[in-house]
Structure 1
């Protein structure tokens, strides 16, 4: 199953997902890669990571771009040559990209029990009170995704998940919320959107301007 789903956020951002089910060779033959991308692909030890990398390029092709339209800055943040903002994520069975006219961050994570064991390291665990274990796993995965997406959007060295990124209270039924980045003596406001896709949590973050 190739292209999986498109989600429009606030009419200004397109999230696209690819469910990775194809054989590596089938995927590899379906994309054109520039030399630097080919070298990066060959350096990956895991076939799962290789497939995720290629499926990001499949999503680009679905939108009318190619690998030759994509480049990374010195901190590893992706950009498109035409100025459209892009964020990229992949996790096991899914690759995802978001395209927007404004700076934006994206993360997709598999919902796993491990997130509860590490939750005290990255979030305020009071957010998990009065929830079943399954709900705690889902909510903690949303919070992790919010912090990953803010980190990708801001793209600055030194940002700490527990010390600098704070999410406001939200309910799983909301499918959205707000968060702040306290960094370099400034406070920046963000909105986030989340959606459960099979056993994964997709999170998209954009900056709020006053």
Structure 2
């Protein structure tokens, strides 16, 4: 399938969604992989995680518009990066979708999650009491997913481990729209960074995305 959704953020930053309808074999044929990557994919077997890994790489290839080998690695904090391409990247996936964000100038972060009621049970784990207090009852589940996806996107953009969603990433109150922005801050020790995070609902998924 072709790209399901694509959004240009600015002149050198964009993100896109890919609905994974292909078989693993079909996706695999669209990639060039080195021996390490081939060995890694064998370990994933034929699970959904395997489809997700292949789907994000196929989408990345489409967005970069190249048939050449893409050398994508992961650093010590788990953040993906390109060895020989002048782009910052972020990858995400959830059920039937893969999501990729790229930028030539700044770090980026993207997260996609399928919207499910169970998020309400774990909200206290990723939101502070102040944030829980501003979650209104209307569109409550969507609001909670906006918060989760926004914090996950900020975490990925920052790109370092040992960050508490509840304690180190704070969100300002927002009015839920299906496509909007909210303000976020990452504060940890002497690190204090403000972010404007975009979010959107796409079918029964929520997407959060941010540029550093």
TM-score, normalization by structure 1? 0.90
| Larger displacement relative to structure 2 (63-72 or 43-52) | 63-72
Question: 1:178: which partner in 2?
Answer: 183
Alignment of 1:182-193 (within 5 A): 182-193=187-198
Alignment of 1:4-23 (within 5 A): 4-23=4-23
Q: CA deviation at 1:157?
A: 2.5
Question: 1:28: which partner in 2?
Answer: 28
| Larger displacement relative to structure 2 (70-79 or 164-173) | 70-79
Alignment of 1:106-185 (within 5 A): 106-123=110-127, 124-129=131-136, 131-132=137-138, 135-173=139-177, 175-185=180-190
| Cα deviations by residue, 1:106-151 (Å, 9 ceiling, x for unpaired) | 111111111111011111211322x23xx11111111111111111
| Cα deviations by residue, 1:157-201 (Å, 9 ceiling, x for unpaired) | 221010100001111126101100111233210110011111101
**8 A contact 2:87–2:102 mirrored in 1:** yes
| Larger displacement relative to structure 2 (65-74 or 87-96) | 65-74
Alignment of 1:48-87 (within 5 A): 48-62=48-62, 63-65=64-66, 68-80=70-82, 81-87=84-90
Consecutive unaligned residues of structure 1, counting only runs of 5 or more, are none
CA–CA distance in 2 between the matches of 1:2 and 1:40?
26
TM-score, normalization by structure 2? 0.89
